[in-house]
């Protein structure tokens, strides 16, 4: 993982047993069962659902122009608090090593759609695969890249605000050694873009992110 880093993302799911699997072919979700568009801007052919959550659904798709696979996030217009347009803007602002590349963002039918590079398994997936234990060498290699990703986004004046094993993914193919940081829907600037000063600390705010992985101070 200490070699030079770069390129395309796959996302897998993990089961309670620890086995890493790919989601079965599906075009509808198990909750609301919305049907997503099967062809995006006459270029990306949607194939397999590989993830879902409160944000919407992630599908694998084929780029019929470049003959490679991509990942596509679909966010329904019916969501009360949409985040995908904001996440797309943040990804453009913080682009760099270990940050997923975005290829296209727009609206298709009743969805906001974000096309990005396809990544590999998450740290959580790999931990399950390794029976909940990493070697010291693996921990050090991962930690080094994690710190570099945080240093990078902080240098762009953003905080991630939802750090957890599920949001660190490995690359694929030539970049399988590279660690990526994903899911910037909750990220926020900590430096005011006009004054260039640190945003004022405020009390009484609710916890942001995933409680299990939030800092102790967030729970106080």
pLDDT: is 217 or 11 the higher one? 217
Location of structure tokens 């991962």: 142
Confidence of residue 34 (pLDDT cuts 50, 70, 90): low
CA distance 196 to 127: 40
Residues 178-200 have a mean pLDDT of 94
Answer whether residue 27 is part of any domain. Answer: yes
Answer whether residue 148 is part of any domain. Answer: yes
Question: Quick check: is 162 catalytic?
Answer: yes
Beta strand 111-117 pairing with 102-108: antiparallel
pLDDT digits (tens, 9 = 90+) for 200-212: 988 778 888 899 9
What is the reported pLDDT for 219? Answer: 76
Q: Identify the domain containing residue 56 by its residue range.
A: 1-213
pLDDT digits (tens, 9 = 90+) for 77-102: 999 999 999 999 999 999 999 999 99
Asked which of 17-21, 142-146, 197-201 is least confident by mean pLDDT, the reply is 17-21
Answer whether residue 218 is part of any domain. Answer: no
Answer whether residue 219 is part of any domain. Answer: no
Answer whether residue 30 is part of any domain. Answer: yes
Residues near 98 by Cβ (< 8 Å), separated by ≥ 6? 5, 145, 148, 149, 152, 178, 179, 180, 181
Where residue 14 falls (left for φ over 0; alpha for ψ -120 to 50; beta otherwise) is: beta
SS3 state of residue 167: helix
The gap between the terminal CA atoms of the chain, to the nearest Å, is 37
Residues 167-189 have a mean pLDDT of 97
What is the reported pLDDT for 21? Answer: 35
Q: What is the CATH number of the domain that holds 187?
A: 1.10.510.10
pLDDT digits (tens, 9 = 90+) for 155-166: 999 999 999 999
pLDDT digits (tens, 9 = 90+) for 137-155: 999 999 999 999 999 999 9
Full-model pTM: 0.82
State phi, psi for 45 to the nearest 5 degrees. Answer: -95, 115
Number of domains the chain is built from? 1
Kindly name the residue from 109, 125, 162, 166 that is annotated as catalytic.
162
The stretches of the chain forming alpha helices (DSSP H) are 84-93, 123-129, 136-155, 216-219
């Amino acid at each position: 993982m200490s070699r030079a880093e770069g390129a395309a993302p796959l996302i897998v799911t993990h089961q309670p047993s620890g086995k890493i699997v790919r989601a079965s072919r599906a075009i509808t979700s198990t909750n609301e069962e919305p049907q997503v568009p099967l062809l995006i801007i006459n270029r990306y052919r949607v194939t397999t659902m590989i993830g879902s959550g409160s944000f919407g659904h992630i599908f694998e798709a084929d780029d019929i122009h470049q003959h490679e696979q991509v990942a596509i996030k679909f966010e329904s217009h019916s969501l009360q608090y949409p985040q995908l347009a904001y996440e797309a803007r943040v990804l453009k602002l913080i682009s760099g090593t270990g940050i997923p590349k975005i290829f296209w963002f727009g609206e298709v039918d009743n969805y906001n759609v974000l096309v990005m590079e396809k990544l590999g398994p998450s740290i959580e997936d790999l931990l399950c695969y390794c029976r909940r234990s990493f070697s010291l060498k693996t921990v050090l290699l991962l930690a080094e890249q994690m710190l570099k990703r945080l240093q990078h986004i902080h240098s762009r004046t953003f905080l991630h605000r939802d750090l957890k094993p599920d949001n660190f993914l490995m690359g694929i193919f030539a970049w399988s050694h590279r660690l990526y940081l994903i899911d910037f829907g909750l990220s926020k600037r900590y430096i005011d873009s006009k004054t260039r000063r640190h945003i004022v600390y405020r009390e009484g705010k609710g916890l942001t992110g995933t409680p299990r992985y939030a800092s102790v101070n967030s729970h106080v």
